[in-house]
Amino acid sequence: MDPKTNFRLILYQTELERFKFLVRSFLRARIAKVRFRFSFLFAVVCLSCTVAHFLCLETLLPWSREGSCREMLDECMFEADLDSFQIDKHPLHILTTPETLAYLSRPERQYLEQHQALLSQHYAASFLSSFPPQLQRLDDKAGGISMIDTPDLDTAVFCRVLRDIGVVSVGGVDEDREVEMKRGDVLVVRWRVVRERVLAGDIELI
């Protein structure tokens, strides 16, 4: 093989591996964020994948075109999905809450549905089948108490204010406290307090 051609192939392969690493990193970050209900990063991940796809088509592999690039992205998605165990912390809550479910991408939704199906089958085979039919449900809400484990909205998060918001009630142990949120402020507050502002783009998580 021509040494010059061989060297070009090495460069192409190195650059391809670099892009695969970047795409995997973005996907893993997205899955980690979903675990903490920070699903607004969906657009960032989609944009990153699109940019990587475009660069792959136009710059890295001009002789192979779309086929190899699509295989590369599919491989990245598959390998990142191996780490999807993080989004199954509250599977039933996500699957039964349309607002939350809408933030998931198609592979994430498929993973979560398959995970919950396997978990339900395991529980049924292990012990639920020996219970009376009325006690076999995993989403029972009898007596006003739901069996579905929900996220803790009072979890503390670090955030940065992107726009002047004004005075916001942040709650407290003994009494409600108010904090003036100005652009550039870095705060530690309950997720419940800033959730809507994060989704609106007024605050970002750090």
Query: How far is it, in rounded angstroms, from Cα 81 to Cα 63?
Result: 29
* CA 68 to chain CA centroid, nearest Å: 26
- Residues 70 and 52: beta-carbon distance below 8 Å: no
pLDDT per residue over 27-75, tens digit each? 777 766 665 543 444 434 444 444 444 444 434 444 344 444 444 444 4
pLDDT per residue over 96-146, tens digit each? 888 888 888 888 888 889 888 998 899 888 888 888 888 888 888 777 778
Residue 95 half-sphere exposure toward CB, CA atoms < 13 A: 20
Task: Please name which of 160, 168, 163, 165 lies closest in space to residue 205, comparing C-alpha atoms.
Answer: 160
Query: DSSP for 151-181?
Result: --TT-EEEEEE-S--EEEEEE-SSS-EEEEE
What average pLDDT is seen over the chain? 74
Q: Name the residue with higher pLDDT: 152 or 47.
A: 152
Domains of the chain are 1-147 (no CATH), 156-205 (3.40.5.60)
Average pLDDT over residues 168-189: 86
- Residues 135 and 123: beta-carbon distance below 8 Å: no
Q: What is the pLDDT of residue 73?
A: 44
| pLDDT interval class at 7 (50, 70, 90) | confident
Q: What is the pLDDT of residue 158?
A: 92
**DSSP H helices in 3-127:** 3-35, 42-55, 66-81, 91-95, 98-101, 106-126
203-205: strand order across its sheet: 186-190, 156-161, 203-205
34: left (phi over 0), alpha (psi -120 to 50) or beta: alpha
N-terminal to C-terminal alpha carbon distance within the chain: 50
